[in-house]
Chains A and B, each alone.
Chain A
């Protein structure tokens, strides 16, 4: 019988029903402390090292979809209606290692072994999702797992061994049975838990969400919780009322209509990236550098916008492309240009009881060029020092329209109005770069911190203009990440 007040999921093949768990308990804590399953490790408690990687399988159109996730920043209620697979579940009934485990042993992919369960689970996720054994595909899939011992070479070899010899594993053989078990969970579509410390809602519809927000306007809305999760694990902040929007199907669609890409706010980065990159190819690299496989499987575009961090990677893009935010509440909806949403550091145009419902991104028009450049110390899974997004319309080599937005240059993602003004009506010339560079200094006065000095940010922001012009004028496209050896 469906019970709105319990969390039901499969732990491996066993069903679990939790009624008295503090909703912001992380899956990692649950595994280690409640189930006493200690194969899954804590390396950082912030979703950056991957030692805690688990795989969550769910029914998507009658098939199981497997996603690698960081259990350290995932709240237990997110498992509702799904299957949680950990490193302890991978051996088959004959006590034989899974092909990804065997490959790790054969290729000497473990040394100290502490990151290993996480790598094994990422590889397991890959085993079920990826047949591409190119280095790029492997690096992208493993970017969220840090290893300090091996230098990764043997792990890459293990990935190739496992994927080359790919054949259905026991999870594939049991797929029908697992789907049946998931359905047998009879998990309520909408969950409401009131523990002594915390109340938690996971509504199934937007209508329901509006109603809850009306009653509890001060609630904290979470989607993937890849940011809010850290409030709990790092700051031990107490959240009185949490509303998860991750079960609301209406918020998870991505569609194209009326010259707009309409992105439901709870669409994960992983789900959105292919569609968005199709229309704006420059986004492909940005999304590859956005968090990691695990983070992209959990984090949502809406969450990235709503929390309003000055260094969220999708924000400069949305501002430069003049995206519109549809913000809703029980009282109705309003549409807001993305750039107006960010008021100041930590302050956004989102009232009590309101939530971000959708993002409308215009389709590219003829003559429009779009480029986004992210700069960070490390290619994969790093936070931008500077992220610059440029949208230009060129006619006969003259810039007719331009929108430029930067992250990491101010307290909010911010447009470069002076720079835009300096470029309008100008050809893609060296003079224009000089003018644009000077204008950027009026637009921004960036801070110095551990991601970059003020000087560097200023300098490199101007250089991005040069890079952009080089590309648009066909002089040179420099993609250092794709460079091969001489």
Chain B
């Protein structure tokens, strides 16, 4: 059994705040990304040509002038695909090249391979494409009106919400919408394909999902999977945007390489990247809630509609997670939530940190805020009133028992450390004056279910080699996008052998070493890859124990690994020496490891089961100040307490919490995707799309890992996933903004602000609040 206490002592690497494995190479520029690779001599450069129209039939496409442009070697389109023209993760509805029609502005029509990037880029302009333009479906409302969906709607239901709402002492209804969000990874999509002998090829790609790319290329080019190797050392950020969205570019590079016999590279610039790749889903929520005098929710009805874009992509599991997250931290006895997956003529929306949960939580927290306002209570009281219980009121709407709920304790701790009550009182007093500065404060919690909602993704593999000098080569299926996965897994392996961390070599993720992997996503990277690597290391360790026991004539349980040495009874030998002894004794020093997440089951028909292994929790208090006359605002203070179980690496985890929170804040405040009436995205670069800058993060940014955190499940060293959950805490900023605006009605009404709460939306809400509307 994996978690049996072992004969090594306290962990020397695990639980320590160790720097990112590449930190020293990041700061010197030595860390290499796809576009930094030495370029092969005869490398081709690829540029894609994009559709300017959102919905149109292609009546003709003449690329003869493109062909004859300077430097052009080949032009590829749907007609040149030997296999299946698709790069979708599941549904077969994402053509690599447009076929007969275009369904969003930014869709790839064809790709040009030329001797230089500039030549490829300029040649793209030489095509003559004629279209029969159709009326596009651009908004959620239009899609609902026309019943335009990528997949059928789904519903989660418990109890009798309609009656419970009706019978409750109080009811109201409302709506809230949120905008999408571009991932804005700093490194744009990139892939380079290198042909090898016998029709094989290697693809270097900035991707979270090498195995899927391998599969898609095999279908595109009619090749066996064993002919295609996909490798990634690191990504310059991903956040879900390189889960399915990296595939198309890798496919194009692979096809170019295959058909020209030359190495080929594609690297999207920022504008193409933002125009052609999917983003976070916009959602429109309508809700009706019934509740008691004390704020207890009796019944809830939520209808969600998500803007999926032109194809399904990962919209099904994203919408499922939205449904599964609508409760956030609250027990909903009677609830019905339905989600519609709207098909629009926009880029296909995709995975983005949180995967539908942040949107659902935004809606739920709005409802709670409004209940508080309605009852004249601090919304915090309503939150605490509705928190899941320990023994009762502890079953989620989908039937899973919540057995690790720690938000009561965490909330109490944060209220104390953030001085919440006193500050809230001061703010109310300040707002009572005639100032142009409005202040607001809010506490919001987050509960995030950890595991893939696509159940079979919850598995991982690893491959560990020990060399005869004691150095260790670590491979696993997870990919490094900056989240610190590699260092965490290395810490686990180093401690398994009780050797210094430097002895463990972290290497690129490669489909030929660890096959058939899941995407590195759903925050699960260290949970599953850490376990798989530990299993591989454990296998080798057990063999080494056998070697030592035999060599020194002791029982196996007398062999202890300690700080680079191995103690066998009264004898001691260095780890290196033992490795060499094993080789001489003809004992293998290499092993795979495998892990599957236990306890998970899910019935998509009834939307019930145990979809998550466990939950991660967090709580945040945010405070803002708004200029009543301009709608501009500043976050003045943030206090966060977040649960990562027993942290594998507190430095890495703290970085995930701080970074996730700020990223979520950007989504809800300054990041606005803006399409014109023809469906063309006009905010496709940092000059127009504003992610947070350093000045948007308050100096009073007090982020703590919850020291009492411990996973009740047997995860790797009792740690918890941390990638996505902290993003949800940004909702506290949105609530604080709303709280500040509400002050203008003397807290009698809650503003119906939509996200992102740009200065414009805030000012408009202020005007409505002052003119007695909502």
A interface residue numbers (CB < 8 A to B) = 32, 36-46, 48-49, 51, 86-88, 90-91, 97, 101-102, 104-106, 108-117, 120, 135, 138-140, 142-143, 145-156, 234, 236, 373, 375-383, 385, 449-453, 455-456, 459-460, 463-464, 466-467, 470, 476, 478, 480-481, 483-486
Per the 8 Å Cβ criterion, residues 15-62 of B in contact with A are 17, 19-20, 22-33, 35-36, 38
A464 cross-chain contacts in B, Cβ below 8 A: 629-630
Name B482's contact: one of A149, A377, A483 (CB within 8 Å).
A149
CB distance from A255 to the nearest CB of B (A): 32
- For A150, give the chain B residue with the smallest CB separation: B659
- For B418, give the chain A residue with the smallest CB separation: A485
Whether A36 pairs with B237 at a CB distance below 8 angstroms is no
Whether A153 pairs with B697 at a CB distance below 8 angstroms is yes
Whether B28 pairs with A460 at a CB distance below 8 angstroms is no
Whether A97 pairs with B27 at a CB distance below 8 angstroms is yes
Extra inter-chain contacts (8) besides given A41-B187, A112-B238, A486-B426, CB under 8 Å: A39-B28, A120-B27, A149-B237, A149-B482, A152-B662, A153-B701, A486-B427, A486-B439
Whether B187 pairs with A112 at a CB distance below 8 angstroms is yes
Whether B632 pairs with A146 at a CB distance below 8 angstroms is no
Q: Tell me whether B672 is interfacial, beta carbon within 8 Å.
A: yes
CB distance from B654 to the nearest CB of A (A): 7
* Cross-chain pairs A/B with CB under 8 angstroms, 13 sampled: A48-B685, A104-B23, A112-B235, A115-B186, A139-B695, A151-B661, A153-B703, A236-B122, A377-B670, A383-B687, A460-B760, A463-B629, A480-B633
CB distance from A170 to the nearest CB of B (A): 15
CB distance from B611 to the nearest CB of A (A): 28
- For A457, give the chain B residue with the smallest CB separation: B760
Whether B185 pairs with A112 at a CB distance below 8 angstroms is yes
- For B270, give the chain A residue with the smallest CB separation: A44
Whether B633 pairs with A135 at a CB distance below 8 angstroms is no
B interface residue numbers (CB < 8 A to A) = 17, 19-20, 22-33, 35-36, 38, 118, 121-122, 183-188, 234-239, 269-271, 423, 426-427, 430, 435-437, 439, 441, 481-484, 623, 625-634, 636-637, 651-652, 654-655, 658-663, 670, 672, 674, 682-683, 685-688, 690-701, 703, 758-760, 763-764, 767
A485 cross-chain contacts in B, Cβ below 8 A: 423, 623, 636-637, 698, 700
A97-B24, A152-B697, A464-B630 known; A113 vs B655 contact (CB < 8 Å): no
B187 cross-chain contacts in A, Cβ below 8 A: 41, 43, 112, 114
Whether B661 pairs with A39 at a CB distance below 8 angstroms is no
A41-B187, A485-B623 known; A113 vs B234 contact (CB < 8 Å): yes
Whether A113 pairs with B31 at a CB distance below 8 angstroms is yes
Whether A375 pairs with B759 at a CB distance below 8 angstroms is yes
Name A380's contact: one of B30, B439, B695 (CB within 8 Å).
B695
Complex Cα gap A377–B760 (Å): 8
Whether A112 pairs with B29 at a CB distance below 8 angstroms is no
Complex Cα gap A24–B38 (Å): 24
CB distance from A437 to the nearest CB of B (A): 12
A111-B20, A113-B31 known; A483 vs B763 contact (CB < 8 Å): no
Name B236's contact: one of A101, A113, A483 (CB within 8 Å).
A113
Complex Cα gap A377–B658 (Å): 22
Complex Cα gap A334–B507 (Å): 66
CB distance from A305 to the nearest CB of B (A): 20
> Which of B187, B483, B661: most chain A CB closer than 10 A?
B187
Whether B29 pairs with A38 at a CB distance below 8 angstroms is yes
B236 cross-chain contacts in A, Cβ below 8 A: 41, 112-115
Q: How many interface contacts (CB-CB < 8 Å) are there between A and B?
A: 285
Whether A480 pairs with B655 at a CB distance below 8 angstroms is no
A39 cross-chain contacts in B, Cβ below 8 A: 28-30
- For B698, give the chain A residue with the smallest CB separation: A485
Complex Cα gap A36–B660 (Å): 34
- For B657, give the chain A residue with the smallest CB separation: A151
Complex Cα gap A383–B686 (Å): 11
- For B32, give the chain A residue with the smallest CB separation: A38
4 closest A-B pairs by beta carbon, nearest first, are A39-B29, A112-B482, A114-B236, A151-B662
A138-B694, A485-B423 known; A108 vs B435 contact (CB < 8 Å): no
Whether A459 pairs with B763 at a CB distance below 8 angstroms is yes
Name B271's contact: one of A110, A234, A452, A466 (CB within 8 Å).
A234
CB distance from A454 to the nearest CB of B (A): 11
CB distance from A376 to the nearest CB of B (A): 8
CB distance from B106 to the nearest CB of A (A): 16
Whether A108 pairs with B654 at a CB distance below 8 angstroms is yes
- For B237, give the chain A residue with the smallest CB separation: A112
Complex Cα gap A361–B567 (Å): 82
Whether A139 pairs with B687 at a CB distance below 8 angstroms is no
B36 cross-chain contacts in A, Cβ below 8 A: 38
Whether A48 pairs with B631 at a CB distance below 8 angstroms is no
Name B270's contact: one of A43, A90, A143 (CB within 8 Å).
A43
Complex Cα gap A453–B38 (Å): 47
A91 cross-chain contacts in B, Cβ below 8 A: 28
A108-B655, A383-B687 known; A373 vs B269 contact (CB < 8 Å): no
Complex Cα gap A46–B683 (Å): 13
Name B29's contact: one of A42, A86, A147, A149 (CB within 8 Å).
A86
> Which of A376, A449, A451, A466: most chain B CB closer than 10 A?
A451
Whether B632 pairs with A480 at a CB distance below 8 angstroms is yes
Whether A90 pairs with B630 at a CB distance below 8 angstroms is no
Name B631's contact: one of A117, A135, A449, A460 (CB within 8 Å).
A460
- For B693, give the chain A residue with the smallest CB separation: A380
Name B629's contact: one of A37, A105, A140, A467 (CB within 8 Å).
A467
Complex Cα gap A48–B663 (Å): 18
A450 cross-chain contacts in B, Cβ below 8 A: 672, 674, 682-683, 688
- For B651, give the chain A residue with the smallest CB separation: A108
A41-B236, A142-B694 known; A148 vs B118 contact (CB < 8 Å): no
Complex Cα gap A214–B662 (Å): 53
A106 cross-chain contacts in B, Cβ below 8 A: 19
Whether A108 pairs with B20 at a CB distance below 8 angstroms is yes
CB distance from A139 to the nearest CB of B (A): 4
B687 cross-chain contacts in A, Cβ below 8 A: 44, 46, 48, 383
Name A456's contact: one of B24, B482, B763 (CB within 8 Å).
B763
Whether B686 pairs with A143 at a CB distance below 8 angstroms is no
A383 cross-chain contacts in B, Cβ below 8 A: 687-688
Complex Cα gap A51–B66 (Å): 32
Whether A486 pairs with B623 at a CB distance below 8 angstroms is yes
B186 cross-chain contacts in A, Cβ below 8 A: 41, 43, 49, 51, 112, 114-115, 146-148
CB distance from B248 to the nearest CB of A (A): 20
- For A118, give the chain B residue with the smallest CB separation: B186
Complex Cα gap A46–B686 (Å): 8
Whether A105 pairs with B270 at a CB distance below 8 angstroms is no
Whether A46 pairs with B760 at a CB distance below 8 angstroms is no
B758 cross-chain contacts in A, Cβ below 8 A: 377
A39-B30, A44-B270, A149-B237 known; A375 vs B24 contact (CB < 8 Å): no
B235 cross-chain contacts in A, Cβ below 8 A: 112
> Which of B239, B483, B693: most chain A CB closer than 10 A?
B693
CB distance from A161 to the nearest CB of B (A): 13
> Which of A51, A236, A456: most chain B CB closer than 10 A?
A456
CB distance from B513 to the nearest CB of A (A): 22
A453-B760, A483-B636 known; A467 vs B436 contact (CB < 8 Å): yes
Whether B630 pairs with A460 at a CB distance below 8 angstroms is yes
- For B664, give the chain A residue with the smallest CB separation: A151
Complex Cα gap A153–B183 (Å): 20
Complex Cα gap A486–B30 (Å): 44
B661 cross-chain contacts in A, Cβ below 8 A: 151
Name B627's contact: one of A117, A143, A449, A478 (CB within 8 Å).
A478
A104 cross-chain contacts in B, Cβ below 8 A: 23, 26-27
A113-B234, A375-B759 known; A36 vs B38 contact (CB < 8 Å): yes
- For A135, give the chain B residue with the smallest CB separation: B699
B630 cross-chain contacts in A, Cβ below 8 A: 373, 375, 460, 463-464, 467, 480
Whether A486 pairs with B441 at a CB distance below 8 angstroms is yes
Whether A148 pairs with B237 at a CB distance below 8 angstroms is yes
